[in-house]
Structure 1
Amino acid sequence: MLLRLAYLAVTNTLSFMRLLPMSDRDMEIEILVLRHQLAVLQRQVSKPVFTPQDRFLLAGHLHHLPMDKLRRLILVRPDALLRWHRDLLRRRHGAASSPRRPGRPRTVPSIRALVLRLARENPSWGYRRIHGELAALGIKVAASTVWEILKKHGIAPSPERTHTTWANCLRDQASALCRRRVNTDPVATAEI
């Protein structure tokens, strides 16, 4: 696209330089001949097809002309030409303001390496715990990013833990309290 645009710019510059040595009378004759050829083509072609480069060239040059001259000179309606010009400006400003890569930016390799290191050194930690440790270190990364890094490298994001039921948890707590009371209370030890 840029190569074609450069080609069009060079050919237009050369054709403009060709007009410099011409007299006003010669230019007027050439314009009359070109207008007549355009009228002949308009009679023969029902609907011409414009390439994006044609639209770019016409929108870039002809939007300066008044509407009455536009109606006589070009093959399309003036509102189509104005639409092409708006599209041209939208593309130019859209391309300048759009990000280079769509989507979320990549995670820094050092953070990825740290996530993997924490996961390997602490196999009982899940992705949420690793996320918390990173946050404690001042590293801002989403928990879902930690999950994706672990998943991508074949590490289970939440390790398989031995699940304790609620009843087992209460039983363990009660026995721990009883042991603590027995060890610290002299009356309880005498009764046993």
Structure 2
Amino acid sequence: MFTLIRLLPRSGHDKDAEILALRHQLTVLQRQTDKPKLTWPDRALLAARLHPFPRVRLRQLHLFASPDTVLHWHRELLRHRHAKASHRKRPGRPRTIRSIRALMLRLARENSSWGYRRIHGELASLGIKPAASTVWNILKEHGIDPAPERDRTTWASLLRSQAQSILAADFFETKTLTERRCTSSQ
């Protein structure tokens, strides 16, 4: 009779949460014969169901764990959740952006006498600041040899590059200075 009178002023949501928590405790106790040993999912479910209740209300419930323990489980549940969400998917530093990698490779291919330090310096002058070791690793990853081994220019490659620069030159004449004749009035 007293239990019925005690339940009347409560909302349906509070009653449902308490009933679910108590039912879960019963299933845990039915699985065990000695002192109840809760698994992590058991603790998580109890903590999630009982967290909305104020501490005073938790003290009134007949739980086999103290309200402080239940709140501790809830804090652990949140800590694990946030730790997992903020955990990096891949260990180590993030990959270099694709466009920067392409620029590094282009600089290495177009300037065969430049080593990774020179490429690193050129990128830094453009405002791109990867580590020099990153430039070295990317060049190595793409099979580009160090600068002294790439710098061996043959006569054929020299003549080919000179021919390309001659063909790229502009053969049209443009006047940049103009003559102005001034007439003076006498």
Q: TM-score range by the shorter chain?
A: 0.5 to 0.7
Q: Write the distance in 1 (CA, Å) between the matches of 2:34 and 2:147.
A: 68
Q: Write the distance in 2 (CA, Å) between the matches of 1:143 and 1:62.
A: 54
Q: How far apart are 1:116 and its partner, in Å? A: 1.0
Q: How far apart are 1:59 and its partner, in Å? A: 0.5
Q: Which moved more, 1:107-116 or 1:150-159?
A: 150-159
Q: State the partner residue of 2:140.
A: 151
Asked if residue 134 in structure 1 is aligned to residue 118 in structure 2, the reply is no
Normalized against structure 2, the TM-score is what?
0.52
More helix by share: 1
Change (3 A) 1:136 1:80: same
Q: Which moved more, 1:94-103 or 1:113-122?
A: 94-103
Q: Write the distance in 1 (CA, Å) between the matches of 2:118 and 2:71.
A: 58
Q: Report if aligned partners of 2:108, 2:114 keep a CA contact under 8 Å in 1.
A: yes
Q: Which runs of 5+ in 2 are unaligned?
A: 1-11, 152-186
Q: State the partner residue of 1:73.
A: 63
Q: Write the distance in 1 (CA, Å) between the matches of 2:147 and 2:78.
A: 50
Normalized against structure 1, the TM-score is what?
0.51
What's the RMSD between the two structures over aligned residues?
3.6
Q: State the partner residue of 2:38.
A: 50
Q: Write the distance in 2 (CA, Å) between the matches of 1:78 and 1:157.
A: 66
The percentage of aligned residue pairs carrying the same residue is 67
Aligned AA (2:94): P
Q: Which runs of 5+ in 1 are unaligned?
A: 1-19, 163-192
Q: Write the distance in 1 (CA, Å) between the matches of 2:46 and 2:84.
A: 20
Q: Report if aligned partners of 2:104, 2:119 keep a CA contact under 8 Å in 1.
A: yes
Q: State the partner residue of 2:105.
A: 116
Change (3 A) 1:54 1:155: same
Which aligned pairs between 1:1-192 and structure 2 lie closer than 5 A?
38=26, 41=29, 45-63=33-51, 64=53, 65-66=55-56, 68-69=59-60, 72-74=62-64, 76-98=65-87, 101-157=90-146, 159-160=148-149
Aligned length: 127
